[in-house]
Chains A and B, each alone.
Chain A
Amino acid sequence: MKTLARLAGLTIAAVAMLAAPALAKEWTTVNIGTEGAFPPWNATKPDGTLEGFEIDLAADLCERMKVKCNWVIQSWDGIIPALQAGKFDAIMSGMSATAKREEVIAFTEPYGSTGQTFAVSKSSDLAKLPLNGELFPLASKPEETAKAIETIKPYFKGKVIGVQASSIAEGFLQKNFADVAEIREYGKTQEHDLDLASGRVDAIMASMAYVGTASKEPGNEEMTAAGPRFQGGMLGKGSSIGLRKGDDDLKAMFDKAIEEAKNDGTIKKLSEKWFGFDVTVY
């Protein structure tokens, strides 16, 4: 009987601990989930520790918020379910706030945005795609963007384009290029890089930042960015911190810290260190 009572007590304590985040709680520790495989946003060093723009930025934000932050490495395709399951409290993994994701989780204000672009082999005929490097915002300049897509579309006829499955670029490709090209989906971005190098795919689509970093990796010597850059609209507002719906206090804390980091130039400084250009969302 005594054991039973103790067990019951333990159960109640456990339930109370599980239920705690639902109540208003004083945030002293925030666990942040990241893929650790998406440089320069986040990457895993050979010794297993993390580095990248988000790692530096989070250190700054957590200091502003006066909380202790811990990192949890989580594969990309399970990252939202893991947030919901309480494995961590926030996602910082180069995740863009899209309408579809906003149905499931909450997002802070964006802390960084680079456009999406194509990458091809230097020797391929796609390397000479027109509108190279020009930026097309989907939301604010829809006509120009539509015209740009029509201009480059014929170049992709019968080609295979590799892209990370369920990424914003995948949605963009399915909508605009699926009628002329085969869209092949990969679990990890490194995998489409390998297939671009081997010639299994003719082009890949990823963020400008990713292409910049990946093309410097050994084995990707042939990789080069090509064609226009796209951003905004269905490509998302930019990378934001993903939070569970209901953690409004945490969202307010992060929003305030991001705003401060934006205004005092911390984001600009860190992005120039990691990307080589400013990714601040103005």
Chain B
Amino acid sequence: MSFAFFQETLLTLLPGVPLTLELAFLSTAIGAVLAVTLALMRLSGVLPLDYFARAYVFAFRGTPLLVQIFLIYYGLSQFPAVRQSVFWPVLREPFWCAIIALSLNTGAYGSEVVRGGLLSVPHGQVEAARAVGMSGLLLFRRIVLPQAIRQALPAYGTELILMVKATSLASIITLMEITGRAAKLISDTYRVIEVFVVAGAIYLIINFVLTRIILALEFWLTPHLRERPEARELPADSAGEHA
């Protein structure tokens, strides 16, 4: 093990970081929209929607992401109909195939997390909101969703970290992100330990930053759980009025 080789490895792997982050963030963003949509379908009470969402989650949670990536990239391109369709310019690109697979996958996991969050909002809150005249979208946007997000955040944060690591599978469809570059460097140099230690460290740093952001978000969303600042002294007469 030499310091020079660690440095060379770092310089070889670092150019893969932007691709890893692009894959992670883009698919998480699309996946989040998908997750909320699926969770709402599950809770809609409309049977066809409910069952579609159930089947979707079952299929995408029940099969390995590796298999999904292979099927979307190599599987779909087998059909001439797909190659001649309007989707081909997107589906021929390994990058978009990876984004599609990662988004569909995290959408399934995320929907269950969001569903848990939505269900955790006490019914009394909804009744109270109805009592003051809120309904429909307004109730959902002002009362249910903010509380659901707050409840779901810790579990969703885990899903985000898993997504960063899941991007490493994109290397199997020729995308040279961090793991792809590491695998290539190992084939070139046969130095497994040094290369994977550096690759692991890069993921660790990315996920460290990510967990800090999630923690900060959690802190920001839960002002009611923080210790109150010293109660300000109120003027005696106004205190009397309130009593």
A contacts, CB < 8 Å to B: 77, 80-81, 84, 100, 104, 165-166, 184-187, 191, 194-195, 197-200, 219
> Within the complex, which residue of A80, A194, A200 is in contact with B190, where a contact is CB–CB below 8 Å?
A80
A-B interface pairs (CB < 8 A), number: 42
Q: Are B188 and A198 in contact, with the CB atoms below 8 A?
A: no
Give chain B residues whose Cβ lies under 8 Å from the Cβ of A186. Answer: 174
CB contact under 8 A between A185 and B174, given known A84-B190, A195-B77: yes
Q: Are B172 and A200 in contact, with the CB atoms below 8 A?
A: no
Q: Are B190 and A165 in contact, with the CB atoms below 8 A?
A: no
Give chain A residues whose Cβ lies under 8 Å from the Cβ of B174. Answer: 184-186, 191
Check B118 for interface membership: any CB of A closer than 8 A: no
Q: Which residues from 166 to 219 on chain B have a C-beta closer than 8 Å to any C-beta of chain A?
A: 171-172, 174, 176, 183-184, 186-188, 190, 192
CA distance A166 to B186 in the complex (A): 9
Give chain B residues whose Cβ lies under 8 Å from the Cβ of A197. Answer: 78
Q: Are B74 and A165 in contact, with the CB atoms below 8 A?
A: no
Give chain B residues whose Cβ lies under 8 Å from the Cβ of A185. Answer: 174, 176, 184
> Within the complex, which residue of B74, B83, B92, B187 is in contact with A194, where a contact is CB–CB below 8 Å?
B74
Give chain A residues whose Cβ lies under 8 Å from the Cβ of B92. Answer: 198-200
In this complex, the member of A184, A195, A198, A219 whose beta carbon has the largest number of chain B beta carbons within 10 angstroms is A198
Whole-angstrom distance between the Cβ of B206 and the nearest chain A Cβ: 23
> Within the complex, which residue of A84, A166, A184, A187 is in contact with B172, where a contact is CB–CB below 8 Å?
A187
Give chain A residues whose Cβ lies under 8 Å from the Cβ of B83. Answer: 198-199
Give chain B residues whose Cβ lies under 8 Å from the Cβ of A84. Answer: 190
Q: Which residues from 24 to 50 on chain B have a C-beta closer than 8 Å to any C-beta of chain A?
A: none
> Within the complex, which residue of A81, A166, A187, A200 is in contact with B77, where a contact is CB–CB below 8 Å?
A200
Give chain A residues whose Cβ lies under 8 Å from the Cβ of B77. Answer: 194-195, 198, 200
Interface size on B, residues (CB 8 A): 17
CB contact under 8 A between A104 and B190, given known A185-B176, A198-B77, A198-B92: yes
Give chain A residues whose Cβ lies under 8 Å from the Cβ of B188. Answer: 100, 166
CB contact under 8 A between A165 and B183, given known A185-B176, A195-B77: yes
A-B residue pairs, 4 tightest by C-beta: A166-B187, A198-B77, A80-B190, A104-B190
CA distance A201 to B92 in the complex (A): 9
CA distance A197 to B77 in the complex (A): 9
Q: Smallest CB-CB separation from A195: which chain B residue?
A: B77
CA distance A85 to B217 in the complex (A): 46
CA distance A80 to B94 in the complex (A): 28
CA distance A197 to B80 in the complex (A): 10
CB contact under 8 A between A77 and B187, given known A186-B174, A200-B92: yes
> Within the complex, which residue of A80, A166, A187, A198 is in contact with B78, where a contact is CB–CB below 8 Å?
A198
Q: Smallest CB-CB separation from A201: which chain B residue?
A: B174
Give chain A residues whose Cβ lies under 8 Å from the Cβ of B176. Answer: 185
CB contact under 8 A between A81 and B192, given known A186-B174, A198-B78, A199-B92: yes
CA distance A219 to B80 in the complex (A): 12
Q: Which residues from 156 to 172 on chain B have a C-beta closer than 8 Å to any C-beta of chain A?
A: 171-172
Whole-angstrom distance between the Cβ of B240 and the nearest chain A Cβ: 78
In this complex, the member of A77, A100, A166 whose beta carbon has the largest number of chain B beta carbons within 10 angstroms is A166
Whole-angstrom distance between the Cβ of B80 and the nearest chain A Cβ: 9
Give chain B residues whose Cβ lies under 8 Å from the Cβ of A77. Answer: 183, 186-187
Give chain A residues whose Cβ lies under 8 Å from the Cβ of B186. Answer: 77, 81
Whole-angstrom distance between the Cβ of B19 and the nearest chain A Cβ: 14
A80-B190, A104-B190, A198-B78 given. 5 additional CB < 8 A pairs? A77-B183, A77-B187, A186-B174, A187-B171, A195-B77
CA distance A187 to B94 in the complex (A): 14
21 interchain pairs (CB within 8 A)?
A77-B187, A80-B190, A84-B190, A100-B188, A165-B183, A165-B184, A165-B187, A184-B174, A185-B176, A187-B171, A191-B74, A191-B174, A194-B77, A197-B78, A198-B77, A198-B78, A198-B83, A198-B92, A200-B77, A200-B92, A219-B78
CA distance A194 to B79 in the complex (A): 11
CA distance A198 to B174 in the complex (A): 15
